[in-house]
Chains A and B, each alone.
With several copies, the nearest count.
Chain A
Amino acid sequence: MKLLTAIIKPFKLEEVRSALTDLGLEGMTVTEVKGYGRQKGHTEIYRGAEYAVSFLPKIKIEIVVPSEQVDKAIDVVQTAARTGQIGDGKIFVSSIERTVRVRTGETDETAL
């Protein structure tokens, strides 16, 4: 199994979620994060003094999928999350050795 970690723009979450659901991927875990990259933050003024906001709000989606579905999943996420603007985010793929469903104890693919 593979873990897809996608960093996307917050307002794209809903689109990505439904796109993945259409693909039959019924589970994911989402985290509010802050990102830093090519898309620089901006400077704000507070009571007359400038300050840089270097981190921008992003959403991190973690989804574990059977290896054979990785390519489709990447495609789907990339299309759904894309705006063409800098800061669209990244998709990282790493491998998961085992998965256990807490409720049943089922393991690996059957646990997804």
Chain B
Amino acid sequence: MTSMKNNLNLGLAAFTVLAMASVPAFAQEAAAPTVAITAATTPNVDYIFNTVLFLIGGFLVMWMAAGFAMLEAGLVRSKNVAMQCTKNIALYSIAGLMFWAVGYNLMYPGDDGWIVADVVGKFLPVSLPDPASDTGNAYATGSDWFFQMVFCATTCSIVSGTLAERIKLWPFLIFCVVLTGIIYPIQGSWEWGAGWLDDMGFSDFAGSTLVHSTGGWAALAGALLLGARAGKYGPNGEIHPMPGSSMPLATLGTFILWLGWFGFNGASQLALGTLENASAVAKIFVNTNMAAAAGVIVAIILTQVIYGKVDLTMALNGALAGLVSITAEPLTPAVWQAVVIGAVGGVIVVFTVPLLDKMRIDDVVGAIPVHLIAGIWGTLIVAWTNSDANVVTQAIGVGAIGAFVFIASFVVWAFLKFTIGLRPTLEEETDGLDKAEIGIEAYPEFGTGSQRI
């Protein structure tokens, strides 16, 4: 994803190119590829296409919020399902409000809006121009804000899964406020806001690092301070699995995320108004789909070989890991390269999920392997297919954002832990958070739900 600044230029390009484009002679020349490419559509058409790309991409990514909700509802035990649903709809709402009140301008300060040049943007709520004079960019201002906001929400969704079943509602929501209002936008400004990482040549097309690893780091910091679910790990290193309550909901959630990812990666091309952009978006769709497919198949084969049975939850994680892996660069890889990149994502899931358990880091839905580890992989491998990127700069970006997000999150989590506290009482946790904090069971009529014999 280039910075908004670049994108504006791109818009202006359309205008200038146009003089030549719309003269009658155009048609014939159009037949010749080279011209056809540079030939932009008329500025309004270009503007409308870009806006449509942001809006369609935006609603697809918004839909991912439902995907996370279903995935997590399916992977937690039934006694915590209503809580998980509550967290997911609340965090999506918070992301919208915070990214409007603070986040957007902190992330996209423009050329001269920085408080600390290229590091910290400005604090200012967003207001939209009158549509009749919304001509500052090659797209509608609102469409860009909407598209950026849903990315911020996605980052936050990642956190809720890891910490499920044992964190109280309010401390979690307060963290979401800080993450979506401050932490996410600041690190985002370094790259997509045209800050220092962008200047350095760091490349993260749709956010393997800026969105997924960021969510993963915030989740990891939380998991370390929060500790594991009661009874998850025995005194002698035993691991006690706590199977999720609904495999079909987890599967539905994964399909929703897969669908949303076409908007996530595709619309990150940020422009649709030229033949080249349209073709690029199409190529991104293909690579995105192939990486996910490879992740699924690898996870299925590996779990069959290693465990003698196919683990559906690993296959679902595999799809997501494939998607995260290709997110840093879905455009430059050839199809076979996208397959390879996604396949490695599947491998990562199968091997790091048990690893985390061995380290006694309790990640309920596997968000750390899927979003953090695969996100790092995806960011580093950009250098393989994109000659503009080099692995050192990529590593610096991964490290810088990782350090900032992890430390900042850790501080916030620690503050919450020692003030209002993060965890419910053991009894509340045993009874389930639905009873303790929501007051309704997710499935009041299906067996006793909250425990299994």
> Are A and B in contact, CB atoms below 8 Å, in the complex?
yes
Residues of A within 8 A of B (CB): 10-11, 13, 30, 32, 34, 44-51, 55, 57, 59
Q: Indicate if the CB atoms of A46 and B453 lie closer than 8 Å.
A: no
Q: Which of B239, B308, B309, B313 has the most CB of A within 10 A?
A: B239
With A and B bound together, what is the CA distance between A48 and B357 in angstroms? 9
With A and B bound together, what is the CA distance between A81 and B311 in angstroms? 34
Collect the chain A residues with CB atoms within 8 Å of residue B448's CB.
10, 32, 34, 57
Q: A45-B307, A48-B353, A48-B357 are in contact. Are A13 and B453 (CB under 8 A)?
A: yes
Contact mask for chain B residues 240-280; partner A; CB cutoff 8 A; 1 contact, 0 none: 11010000000000000000000000000000000000000
Q: Indicate if the CB atoms of B440 and A44 lie closer than 8 Å.
A: yes
Q: Indicate if the CB atoms of A30 and B453 lie closer than 8 Å.
A: yes
Among A32, A47, A48, A51, point to the contact of B453 (Cβ < 8 A).
A32
Collect the chain A residues with CB atoms within 8 Å of residue B309's CB.
45
Q: Indicate if the CB atoms of A55 and B453 lie closer than 8 Å.
A: yes
Collect the chain A residues with CB atoms within 8 Å of residue B447's CB.
32
> How many A-B Cβ pairs are below 8 Å?
54
Q: A13-B453, A51-B241 are in contact. Are A46 and B430 (CB under 8 A)?
A: no
Q: Indicate if the CB atoms of B453 and A45 lie closer than 8 Å.
A: no
Please name the residue on chain B nearest to A51 by beta carbon: B241
Mark out the residues of chain B between 419 and 453 whose CB falls within 8 Å of any chain A CB in the assembled complex.
Answer: 430, 439-440, 447-448, 450-451, 453
CB distance from A91 to the nearest CB of B (A): 18
Collect the chain B residues with CB atoms within 8 Å of residue A30's CB.
453
Q: Which of A10, A47, A57 has the most CB of B within 10 A?
A: A47
With A and B bound together, what is the CA distance between A48 and B353 in angstroms? 7
Flag whether B125 is at the interface (Cβ < 8 A).
no
Q: A13-B453, A44-B439 known; 14 other A-B pairs, CB under 8 Å?
A: A10-B448, A30-B453, A32-B453, A34-B453, A45-B307, A46-B439, A46-B440, A48-B311, A48-B350, A49-B240, A49-B354, A51-B240, A57-B450, A59-B453
- By DSSP majority rule, is chain A's interface helix, strand, loop, or mixed? strand
Among B307, B366, B451, point to the contact of A10 (Cβ < 8 A).
B451
Q: Indicate if the CB atoms of B241 and A46 lie closer than 8 Å.
A: yes
Please name the residue on chain B nearest to A83 by beta carbon: B427
Residues of B within 8 A of A (CB): 239-241, 243, 307-309, 311, 313-314, 350, 353-354, 357, 366, 430, 439-440, 447-448, 450-451, 453
With A and B bound together, what is the CA distance between A80 and B350 in angstroms? 38
With A and B bound together, what is the CA distance between A44 and B240 in angstroms? 11
- By DSSP majority rule, is chain B's interface helix, strand, loop, or mixed? loop
Collect the chain B residues with CB atoms within 8 Å of residue A48's CB.
307, 311, 314, 350, 353-354, 357
Q: What would be 26 A-B contacts, judged by CB atoms less than 8 Å apart?
A: A11-B451, A13-B453, A32-B447, A32-B448, A32-B453, A45-B307, A45-B308, A45-B309, A45-B439, A46-B243, A46-B439, A46-B440, A47-B241, A47-B357, A47-B366, A48-B307, A48-B354, A49-B239, A49-B241, A49-B354, A50-B239, A50-B241, A51-B241, A55-B453, A57-B450, A57-B451
CB distance from A60 to the nearest CB of B (A): 10
Please name the residue on chain B nearest to A34 by beta carbon: B453
Collect the chain B residues with CB atoms within 8 Å of residue A51's CB.
240-241
Q: Indicate if the CB atoms of B430 and A11 lie closer than 8 Å.
A: yes
With A and B bound together, what is the CA distance between A59 and B447 in angstroms? 12
Please name the residue on chain A nearest to B240 by beta carbon: A51
Please name the residue on chain B nearest to A13 by beta carbon: B453
Collect the chain B residues with CB atoms within 8 Å of residue A32's CB.
447-448, 453
CB distance from A55 to the nearest CB of B (A): 5
Q: Indicate if the CB atoms of A46 and B313 lie closer than 8 Å.
A: yes
With A and B bound together, what is the CA distance between A49 and B307 in angstroms? 10
Please name the residue on chain A nearest to B365 by beta carbon: A47
CB distance from B414 to the nearest CB of A (A): 28
Collect the chain A residues with CB atoms within 8 Å of residue B239's CB.
49-50
Among A10, A34, A49, point to the contact of B357 (Cβ < 8 A).
A49
Please name the residue on chain B nearest to A30 by beta carbon: B453
Collect the chain A residues with CB atoms within 8 Å of residue B240's CB.
49, 51
Collect the chain B residues with CB atoms within 8 Å of residue A13's CB.
453
With A and B bound together, what is the CA distance between A44 and B437 in angstroms? 11
With A and B bound together, what is the CA distance between A57 and B441 in angstroms? 13
CB distance from B235 to the nearest CB of A (A): 14
Q: Indicate if the CB atoms of A47 and B313 lie closer than 8 Å.
A: yes
CB distance from A21 to the nearest CB of B (A): 16
Collect the chain A residues with CB atoms within 8 Å of residue B243's CB.
46
Collect the chain B residues with CB atoms within 8 Å of residue A46's CB.
241, 243, 311, 313, 439-440
With A and B bound together, what is the CA distance between A68 and B313 in angstroms? 49
Collect the chain A residues with CB atoms within 8 Å of residue B307's CB.
45, 48
With A and B bound together, what is the CA distance between A59 and B309 in angstroms? 28
With A and B bound together, what is the CA distance between A59 and B453 in angstroms? 8
Please name the residue on chain B nearest to A57 by beta carbon: B448
